[in-house]
Amino acid sequence: MGLTEYRKKRDFKKTKEPSGAKSKKAKTSRLFVIQKHAASHLHYDFRLEYDGVLKSWAVPKGPSLDPSVKRLAVEVEDHPYDYASFEGEIPQEEYGGGEVIVWDHGDWTPASGKTISEMLDHGHLEFTLDGEKLRGSWALVRTKRQTSSRATSKHQWLLFKRSDEFARPGGPEMTDERPESVLSGKLLAIDARHAPKRAASRKSTSKSTSKRKRVGKRLSKRVKKKDPLPAAIAPQLARLVNEAPVGSDWLHEIKFDGYRIIARIEAGKVRLFTRNGHDWTDKYKPIADALKKLKVKSAILGKEGLKSSEI
Ligand code: MN
């Protein structure tokens, strides 16, 4: 797990090989993500970025904001960093088959005093979360090694909230209040049956948008794609059907009749094109100006453009 084995074998007073401690100390915060996973048993996968991977625990009941409620968290294998943005369907016949949504994400910061490695070794992590749903001080404490008939035994931990202004003794629980994905607003199918309208209304607060961008930016920094923008891209077009699709995979919006616009952002410059390749940057200048404020170096975006006088 991580670099422990690597470090165990070396005395860094004697060898000049890197201990890996430097980059760790330079960072003040790391990514955390909680994925809600409707596998054979619904659970929340709690993951903390450490040493380039995501330390992971499966929390059957999910985190509680009540400090007196300690939730079982079963240690599972480290997951790759890129897993943090994974949302979708794992095929039923595969390991962990079922739907996954990103239930919360943000930064986690270990409590000062001990290194993360020490805290993990001692089985006692104290940290703060700065997510969209979960905030403040939390603790993860190892209890015992789960004995099972299987060859692989797993460590059991308890995840619980420390008392602070973000705690909610006696509830309500964030898991009930905010069942949706922080990335897409989607609900798992099992939740959508109970509260079909929640997802859309929660979808886009400005705060969650800015945080999503931050996390997205950080992810894209690590997964660098250096390919240039394609010269042209075919816009995704509406298709006429008799009935609107239903289910948690869909979000619905009113279709205004305007012009299909493709925005190209390159080296800080924004240009807007129609489907036929006409440059309409000047016609929709307010849109171009708004896109200039996006903190991205390059992107191709597609949307319907219209003036309010055209509605
Ligand atoms: Mn899982």
- Beta-sheet strands, E only, within 183-278: 259-266, 269-274
Cis peptide before 245 (omega within 30 of 0): no
The pLDDT value given to residue 58: 96
Q: Which two tokens stand for residue 251?
A: 């979000």
Q: Where are the alpha helices (DSSP H) in 9-104?
A: 21-26
Cβ distance 156 to 71 under 8 Å?
Answer: no
Label residues 256-272 b or e (16+ Cβ within 10 Å = b). eeebbbbbbbeeeebeb
Query: Is the confidence at residue 220, as pLDDT, over 60?
Result: no
Query: Is the confidence at residue 278, as pLDDT, over 50?
Result: yes
User: 50: part of which helix (H) or strand (E)?
Assistant: strand 42-50
Q: Which tops the pLDDT comparison, 207 or 278?
A: 278
Q: Which two tokens stand for residue 176?
A: 């009930």
> What is the number of H-type helices and E-type strands within the chain?
8, 12
Average pLDDT, rounded, for the chain: 81
Q: If pLDDT is split at 50, 70 and 90, which confidence band does 146 have?
A: low
Ion ligand 1 nearby residues (CB, 5 A): 37, 45
What's the predicted TM-score (pTM) here? 0.57
C-alpha 37 – ligand 1 centre gap (Å): 5
Q: Which tops the pLDDT comparison, 12 or 290?
A: 290
The pLDDT value given to residue 258: 79
C-alpha 62 – ligand 1 centre gap (Å): 12
Q: Which tops the pLDDT comparison, 216 or 255?
A: 255
C-alpha 195 – ligand 1 centre gap (Å): 23
Residues 6+ apart with CB under 8 A from 72: 59, 60, 61, 156, 157, 158, 159
DSSP conformation class of 81 = G
From the list 14, 22, 225, 255, the catalytic residue is: 255
**The amino acid at 181:** S
Report residue 114: phi and psi, to 5°: -120, 155
C-alpha 43 – ligand 1 centre gap (Å): 7
C-alpha 95 – ligand 1 centre gap (Å): 9
Strand partners, 223: none
Q: How far is CA 95 from CA 84, 92, 188, in A?
A: 18, 8, 18
**Averaged over 263-281, what is the pLDDT?**
84
DSSP one-letter string for 84-149: GG--EEE-TTSTT-EEEEEEEEEEEEEPTTS-HHHHHHHTEEEEEEEESS-EEEEEEEEEEEPP-S
**Averaged over 4-25, what is the pLDDT?**
59
What is d(CA 243, CA 108) in angstroms, rounded to the nearest whole number?
Answer: 44
What is d(CA 174, CA 172) in angstroms, rounded to the nearest whole number?
Answer: 7
Q: If pLDDT is split at 50, 70 and 90, which confidence band does 209 have?
A: low
Q: Is 303 a catalytic residue?
A: no
The pLDDT value given to residue 243: 76
Q: How far is CA 211 from CA 18, 245, 254, in A?
A: 33, 30, 26
C-alpha 272 – ligand 1 centre gap (Å): 42
